[in-house]
Amino acid sequence: MWHRAFTVSPDTPLTELIISFGANVEASGGVCGVKRHADARARGVRRIQVEPHLSVTGACSAQWVPIRPKTDPAFLFAMVHVALHEADRSALDIAFLKARTSSPYLVAPNGFYLRDKKTGKPLVWDLIAKKAVPFDRPRIDPALEGAFEVSGRETGPDDEFWDHRNATCRPAFDHLLTHMCTYTPEWAAAICDVPADTIRSVATRFLDHAHIGETIEIDGVTLPFRPVAISLGKTVNNGWGGYECCWARTLLACLVGGLEVPGGTLGTTVRLNRPADNRWSSVTPGPDGFMHYPMNPTAKGEWMASPASRHAHQTLVPLAANSPWSQALGPTHLAWMMQKQGLDHLPEPTPPDVWFVYRTNPAISFWDTGAVSDVMADFPFTVCFAYTHDETNHTADILLPECTDLEGLQLIRIGGSKYVEQFWNHQGFALRDPATKPQGEARDFTWIATQLARRTGLLEAYNAAINKGAAGVRLFGEGYDFSLRTDKEHGIEDIWDAVCRAASAEITDGADTQGLDYFREHGFRTRAFSVLQWYLYPALVEQGLRFELPYQERLLRIGRELGARLHEQGITWWDDQLKEYEPLPRWQDLPGKWERALSQHFDVSIADYPFWLLTARSMQYAWGANAGLQMIHEVADNIAGHGGIIMNPAAAQKLGLAEGDVVEVSSPLGKTEGAIVLRQGIRPDTLLMIGQFDHWVTPFAKDLKAPSMNALTPMLLGLSDATGSGADLVKVALRRIGPSP
């Protein structure tokens, strides 16, 4: 829920209704996603696509709801309102709310849970004994609604506490009821530019399809069956508003008991809550009956005052945790911004002595690509792995020509429940075996890595890391050991042969140990993976754990602590972000937040920039990576939406613009140009540029003259939310500069 990325998926094979807020799965879901959704449609699933432009996903959905950009939280809050204040309580899964969420926990006067003085456990009001008892007391019936006179201890940030005697406290669920009271469909209609009836009917359908009380048998185990799910796309779950959307999406799932159960909303890849091999093993007990989450410390003396990364992710974002993945989270743009100007009370920024670049092209893909390119051009020493000339490796001191995917050797883990829309009945390994000889001087990545290790004197550590599993499989286990000798250099095939043997052993519990030859002959090797493991619910029940919804007490506490730590250090530039640490999020004027940030920073009148500019994935393009392939261009050209700036015909007519006209699109930051593509499937106040183009070096792609929003989208502290994320959208103006060529 908290880190807002793509680790959530509907249980597409079983669900009946998917409400998608800008999740463009028919373009972005990969082969599996597209197949799963096609199969689901054949089964009669209904998908409602809520987004400002009609994506290919919207085009093959049952309904398209053209919402105003960045107003999704209002729509979702109104759905919560309908569930709580318009529907009968029997539409909700009360048993799930009582046992699997924080709904019954009593909230004390300062906003933290009321706790048992002796054990520190949160208290609930037991309707049977008519008194407050610890949440985990057996055979109780905890109240969800009402106000109760209770005594106990409330624990705030930094070990602050308050003892209460006969204080009036209400359960978290009751606080939720009050909190959502004013967020009616009529209220949301004005914000989202969507009729109240449409919002109400989407909410009602969601409740109607939830099948409260029904069960389904999965691998011999009876589980709840709740075939409704909500998915969020990358412009919705990122940037300001992301917290509100993720909270409301996950809360709606909880209200109908549809979180981590068949048909409902599921997590996928484990990124932060280690170990990552299996979702069940990431479920361990944390405080107060909730799952453990490896929050970065915010307590006095434990908080990381001096950041270990250039974007200070552990310092600024407790939720980023500290797994190998965590560096990719947090406000990564701060690292680029600070190269130009440091931030008060953080260490003086320094450029990297050596910058390694692998499979990324930020000179095209990042925000404010002009500024990013300037910064990288100044780096003292840049090394790029490369298979083609591109805009980022253009500034490299050394290029290491690397095999493409068809030329290199690698054993890859497959199956299980890894990645969005990827849930399998099997798991195991597949071999990527060279289909052709490398071109020119290109070398296999394994060879390059081994040489770098040897020539830098890191060979022993490098081999030891491979033995420990750095190549994807640990080379030793019970009854087998294919560890490489650490003191010598190993060949590409020797390394992968050992990995293949360990993989065979891992998958057969040590019975088989065939190597590379086996995989060359068979291609892959798998074993059964129980569908039961798609769902966390059984693991939660077994350990008696809950989801911390609706009320985010932990977030409130760490937010206060983080604020205290930052202020002790004199840092006030993160104050806006600190406000996001609310136990129950409130609506804030998000479109206005963008408009204010842009007009203040660039000192412009935002009325001069009347359009929202958005972006969307193209199924044919893998980011900007294959934009250099003629064949991809040919295929993409057959799909509507490519090659220009998507605009609504009515809006174009007002400006005297026609299909194919070349226009200049300018934001307060910068300009680009392209041809107008007229489509009814976009709001009149919105423009869209598909993908990430603007190439000026990459062969072939540079001749496409396809526009990108990235030169127009600024990196602004004010547009970074508390997790450091931002969204790909900006306000722009249009000016005709020529007729269609």
Ligand X SMILES: Nc1nc2c(c(=O)[nH]1)N[C@H]1C(S)=C(S)[C@@H](COP(=O)(O)OP(=O)(O)OC[C@H]3O[C@@H](n4cnc5c(=O)[nH]c(N)nc54)[C@H](O)[C@@H]3O)O[C@H]1N2
Residue 597 Cβ, how far from ligand X at the closest point, in Å? 15
Nearest to 403 by CA among 384, 383, 387: 387
Which x/- pattern over 677-706 shows residues binding ligand X (rule: CB under 6 A)? ---------------x--------------
| Spatial separation of the C-alpha atoms in residues 107 and 124, rounded to whole Å | 9
| Spatial separation of the C-alpha atoms in residues 607 and 64, rounded to whole Å | 28
Give burial (CB, 10 Å; 0-12/13-18/19+) of 524: middle
Q: Which is nearer to ligand X, 84 or 614 (CB)?
A: 614
**Which alpha helices (DSSP H) does 603-697 contain, by range?**
630-636, 649-654
* Structure-derived torsion over alpha carbons of residues 318, 323, 327, 330, reported in degrees to the nearest 10: -30
Which residues on adjacent β-strands are paired with residue 663?
674, 736
Cis-peptide, bond into residue 275, ω within 30° of zero: yes
Q: Which is nearer to ligand X, 116 or 664 (CB)?
A: 664
Q: Which is nearer to ligand X, 101 or 237 (CB)?
A: 237
Residue 511 has a CB neighbour count (10 Å cut-off) of 10
Residue 611 Cβ, how far from ligand X at the closest point, in Å? 13
Residue 268 Cβ, how far from ligand X at the closest point, in Å? 13
Q: Which is nearer to ligand X, 401 or 718 (CB)?
A: 401
The correct pick among 101, 184, 710, 725 for binding ligand X (CB under 6 A) is 710
| Spatial separation of the C-alpha atoms in residues 221 and 356, rounded to whole Å | 49
Residue 687 Cβ, how far from ligand X at the closest point, in Å? 11
Residue 445 Cβ, how far from ligand X at the closest point, in Å? 7
Q: Which is nearer to ligand X, 367 or 480 (CB)?
A: 367
- For residue 646, report the phi and psi dihedrals to the nearest 5 degrees: -75, 130
Q: Which is nearer to ligand X, 101 or 710 (CB)?
A: 710
Q: Which is nearer to ligand X, 338 or 614 (CB)?
A: 614
Residue 263 Cβ, how far from ligand X at the closest point, in Å? 21
Residue 117 Cβ, how far from ligand X at the closest point, in Å? 46
Which x/- pattern over 10-29 shows residues binding ligand X (rule: CB under 6 A)? -----------xxxx--xx-
Residue 691 Cβ, how far from ligand X at the closest point, in Å? 6
Residue 72 Cβ, how far from ligand X at the closest point, in Å? 5
User: SS3 helix, strand, coil % of the chain, rounded to 5?
Assistant: 35, 20, 45
The correct pick among 365, 422, 467, 667 for binding ligand X (CB under 6 A) is 365
Residue 4 Cβ, how far from ligand X at the closest point, in Å? 11
Nearest residue to ligand X on Cβ basis: 22
The correct pick among 219, 405, 589, 634 for binding ligand X (CB under 6 A) is 405
**Which alpha helices (DSSP H) does 637-693 contain, by range?**
649-654
The correct pick among 16, 17, 61, 69 for binding ligand X (CB under 6 A) is 69
| Spatial separation of the C-alpha atoms in residues 448 and 454, rounded to whole Å | 10
* Structure-derived torsion over alpha carbons of residues 347, 352, 356, 362, reported in degrees to the nearest 10: 70
Q: Which is nearer to ligand X, 322 or 388 (CB)?
A: 388
Contact 129, 150 (CB under 8 A): no
**Which alpha helices (DSSP H) does 670-731 contain, by range?**
none
Strands 148-155 and 161-171: antiparallel
625 lines the binding site for ligand X (CB under 6 A): yes
Strands 645-647 and 480-481: unpaired
| Spatial separation of the C-alpha atoms in residues 273 and 700, rounded to whole Å | 42
Residue at token pair 């300018």? 666
The correct pick among 80, 621, 647, 732 for binding ligand X (CB under 6 A) is 621
Contact 701, 625 (CB under 8 A): no
> Among residue numbers 341 through 360, which ones bind ligand X (CB under 6 A)?
359-360
Residue 740 has a CB neighbour count (10 Å cut-off) of 11
48 lines the binding site for ligand X (CB under 6 A): no
The correct pick among 4, 37, 53, 271 for binding ligand X (CB under 6 A) is 53
3-state SS, residue 376: helix
Q: Which is nearer to ligand X, 386 or 675 (CB)?
A: 386
Residue 581 Cβ, how far from ligand X at the closest point, in Å? 23
Q: Which is nearer to ligand X, 295 or 627 (CB)?
A: 627
The correct pick among 362, 428, 563, 644 for binding ligand X (CB under 6 A) is 362
CA angle, 495 then 498 then 501, to 5° = 150
Residue 22 Cβ, how far from ligand X at the closest point, in Å? 3
Which residues on adjacent β-strands are paired with residue 132?
125
Residue 473 Cβ, how far from ligand X at the closest point, in Å? 21
404 lines the binding site for ligand X (CB under 6 A): yes
Structure tokens at 106: 């009593």
386 lines the binding site for ligand X (CB under 6 A): yes
Nearest to 214 by CA among 43, 97, 93, 98: 93
- Of 177-185, 281-289, 386-394, 594-602, which part binds ligand X (CB under 6 A)? 386-394
Residue 402 Cβ, how far from ligand X at the closest point, in Å? 4
Nearest to 411 by CA among 475, 465, 358: 475
Q: Which is nearer to ligand X, 302 or 637 (CB)?
A: 637
> Among residue numbers 198 through 237, which ones bind ligand X (CB under 6 A)?
233-236
The correct pick among 250, 314, 672, 708 for binding ligand X (CB under 6 A) is 708
- Of 159-167, 384-392, 465-473, 512-520, which part binds ligand X (CB under 6 A)? 384-392
Residue 448 Cβ, how far from ligand X at the closest point, in Å? 9
> Among residue numbers 575 through 614, which ones bind ligand X (CB under 6 A)?
614
- For residue 285, report the phi and psi dihedrals to the nearest 5 degrees: -65, 130
Give burial (CB, 10 Å; 0-12/13-18/19+) of 306: exposed
418 lines the binding site for ligand X (CB under 6 A): no
- Of 67-75, 175-183, 286-294, 637-645, which part binds ligand X (CB under 6 A)? 67-75
- Of 211-219, 339-347, 382-390, 429-437, which part binds ligand X (CB under 6 A)? 382-390
Q: Which is nearer to ligand X, 281 or 404 (CB)?
A: 404
Contact 101, 90 (CB under 8 A): no
Instruction: Calculate the alpha carbon distances from 584 to 38, 244, 546 in Å.
Output: 37, 9, 17
Instruction: Calculate the alpha carbon distances from 475 to 264, 280, 458, 554 in Å.
Output: 37, 23, 19, 39
| Spatial separation of the C-alpha atoms in residues 52 and 683, rounded to whole Å | 6
Orientation angle between helical segments 72-81 and 242-255, nearest 10 degrees? 20
Residue 627 Cβ, how far from ligand X at the closest point, in Å? 8
Residue 315 Cβ, how far from ligand X at the closest point, in Å? 24
Q: Which is nearer to ligand X, 214 or 405 (CB)?
A: 405
The correct pick among 303, 385, 519, 594 for binding ligand X (CB under 6 A) is 385
Nearest to 298 by CA among 110, 155, 158, 111: 158
| Chain mean position to CA 568 | 31
The correct pick among 50, 536, 613, 636 for binding ligand X (CB under 6 A) is 50
327 lines the binding site for ligand X (CB under 6 A): no
Q: Which residues bind ligand X (CB under 6 A)?
A: 6, 21-24, 27-28, 50-53, 55, 67, 69-70, 72, 233-236, 359-362, 365, 385-388, 390, 402, 404-405, 614-617, 619, 621-625, 692, 708-710, 728-729
